[in-house]
Amino acid sequence: MAKPAPRIGSRRNGRIGLRKSARRIPKGVIHVQASFNNTIVTVTDVRGRVISWSSAGTCGFKGTRRGTPFAAQTAAGNAIRTVVDQGMQRAEVMIKGPGLDEMQH
């Protein structure tokens, strides 16, 4: 019985793309999605591909402590630390969450 031909582009053949440490990204975008219960920080390149992410829940905070500012700070530090090691020097910050939509003077 003949073996089936390997499919090109199949995920089962191994990892597709580069390893995390092999990428050099000089500029990126930091997306902060805050809610009353959790904060999710995602770091992407300028094209929108995710490089690193973290949330208050993955940092070990449970229950109501996930919604605290300290938990958000810890999540941001974890997500940003990995991309600084990869050479990111500049970043734009996009914030989404509850609060005033317009600046008050």
For the chain, list the domains and their CATH numbers: 24-96 (3.30.420.80)
Could you report the per-residue pLDDT of 67-93, keeping only the tens digit for each?
A: 999 999 999 999 999 899 888 999 999
What is the sign, positive or negative, of the torsion defined by CA atoms of 28, 31, 32, 37? negative
Instruction: Give the length of the chain.
Output: 105
pLDDT band at 105 (very low <50, low <70, confident <90, very high): low
Return d(Cα 59, Cα 54) in angstroms, integer: 7
Mean pLDDT along residues 63-67? 91
pLDDT of residue 25: 82
Average per-residue pLDDT for the chain: 83
Comparing CA positions, the residue from 33, 31, 17, 21 lying closest to residue 80 is 31
Question: What is the separation, in whole angstroms, between the first and last Cα of the chain?
Answer: 77
9 vs 25, more confident: 25
Residue 94 and residue 76 in contact, taking contact as beta carbons nearer than 8 Å: no
pLDDT at 22 over 90: no
7 vs 86, more confident: 86
Return d(Cα 8, Cα 101) in angstroms, integer: 47
